[in-house]
Amino acid sequence: MKIVAALYPGNDLAEKYPELLGCAENCLGIRERLEKQGHTVVALTDRECELDKHLPTTDTLITTPFWPAYITREKIQKASNLSLILTAGVGSDHIDLAAASEHNITVAEITGSNVVSVAEHVVMQILALVRNYFPAYHDVMNGGWNIGKIAAKSHDLESKSVGIVGLGRIGQRVATRLKPFDVKLYYYDFHHVSTVDEAFLNIRYLSLLQLAANCDVISINCPLTPATKGLFNYDLLSAMKKGAYLVNTARGAIVDTEALVKIMKEGHLAGYAGDVWYPQPAPADHPWRSMPNHAMTPHVSGTSLEAQKRYADGVYECIIRKLEGRPIDKDYLIVDGGKVVSPSYSYAYEKR
């Protein structure tokens, strides 16, 4: 079997940090194990030309959300041998799931591998915005001591209203981690969670517009699907409470790029913290890099060293199951048997 992994470049860090499993050089720790079994493993960082050369002879393709190979319908049509696409991480929106279904290609991601890492990152970014951390940091780095200027835009998180869009595995962990801050928690999702979960999390459902109008902080934690693409457009961003903060560790395309730049320049929102962009890697002139009051990171929330170990182990498990003719864990499956089967995605595709 030929396995091709499109991964981010580790460069000179790969040898120094062997636990950096997600890079091409260390190849999820699977290369040596699979080559000993007689399989071909190719790791590459070029997600266009080099990947296209290998696609016609590839049986299993591994991608990541952090350095995504955008697996379009055209690419799938070139891959006549392809039967399995694995996302080393969580989020398979960079794959044309409809085309994968039509070609009976199984798509799986390592569900749960990133939930702790992303939830912690969300809380960090919320606090960074609310406490005005980055301007304070840059002030001291530039030799300043402008306490008044920093404190004028610094708040306590306690007693604030925090809204979570998407109360799945990550959203629930965000809520759990925010409870000790004594905030008022609200959520919006396409499906209500159980009353037991609502009571445990001390969280209340609101419509999306109610959430936007009433929350001091909103965290986006839903998958990117046809139903959520561009969900946070100019109208919704304008409907948010003036001076509110928006945190997005889900997918960049859920927020309209130009609309966000416009709303931030207008000063309607006090801050935006994002870990995700579109496209990725973000070009040097991406407008989010230069908009005011942001706290952007380069999609690192779900790839802590612990998360890398989890998704590397999950990828290896999926490959071994395929080789042995055993079914892949159903919780990992996004597309199977010619259908989109993951609840996170199937709702949106059923509506098309």
Active site residues: 114, 251, 280, 299
Helix (H, G, I), strand (E, B) or coil at 332: helix
Cα–Cα distance measured from residue 116 to residue 170, given in angstroms and rounded to the nearest whole number: 7
Please give the backbone phi and psi of residue 276, each rounded to the nearest 5 degrees, phi first: -130, 150
Q: Which residue has the tokens 């960074």?
A: 128
User: In terms of Cα–Cα distance, which of 108, 101, 73 is closest to 338?
Assistant: 101
Buried residues in 110-129 as b, exposed as e (16+ CB within 10 A): bbbbbbbbbbebbbbbbebb
Sheet of strand 217-220: strand arrangement: 203-205, 184-188, 161-165, 217-220, 245-248, 271-274
Which run of H or of E encompasses 248?
strand 245-248
The pairing of beta strand 333-336 with beta strand 106-109: antiparallel
Cα–Cα distance measured from residue 328 to residue 321, given in angstroms and rounded to the nearest whole number: 6
The answer to whether residues 173 and 119 touch, using CB atoms and an 8 Å cutoff, is yes
List the beta bridge partners of residue 184: 161
* Cis-peptide into 343, omega within 30 deg: no
The pairing of beta strand 161-165 with beta strand 184-188: parallel
Q: Residue 136 has which token pair?
A: 């304070």
Q: Which amino acid is at 55?
A: L
Cα–Cα distance measured from residue 99 to residue 78, given in angstroms and rounded to the nearest whole number: 12
